[in-house]
Amino acid sequence: MVWSIYILRCADGTLYTGVATDVARRLGEHQAQGPKAAKYVRGRAPLELVHTREVGTRSEALKEEWRIKQLSRAQKEALLLV
């Protein structure tokens, strides 16, 4: 099972970073704003998928998620351009 990292742009312009094995399914859960949506994105719809990348194992994906979450907003925006 291959894990991916993804970044969403919320309606308020903020960025949300997460990991999933099926990014399309996870985006649907966030968009539905239901109990499976991350608390952060609730009330911030519509959401736009702006970055996704396959990482490998769950452990590698979580490490990459943590690394991205430590970046400044400017650094995250620069990552989106790559």
DSSP 8-state class, residue 39: G
Residue 67: predicted pLDDT: 98
pLDDT in tens, 40-60: 999 999 999 999 999 999 999
Domain boundaries, the chain: 3-81
In this prediction the pTM is 0.95
Cα 31 to Cα 28: distance, rounded to the nearest angstrom: 5
Residue 51: predicted pLDDT: 97
Three-class SS state of 35: coil
Residue 82: predicted pLDDT: 78
Q: Within 10 Å of residue 61's Cβ, how many Cβ atoms?
A: 22
Strand partners, 38: none
Residue 45 and residue 34 in contact, taking contact as beta carbons nearer than 8 Å: no
Residue 46: predicted pLDDT: 96
User: Token pair for residue 60?
Assistant: 């590698």
Q: Which fold has domain 3-81?
A: GIY-YIG endonuclease (3.40.1440)
User: Which residues of the chain register pLDDT less than 50?
Assistant: none
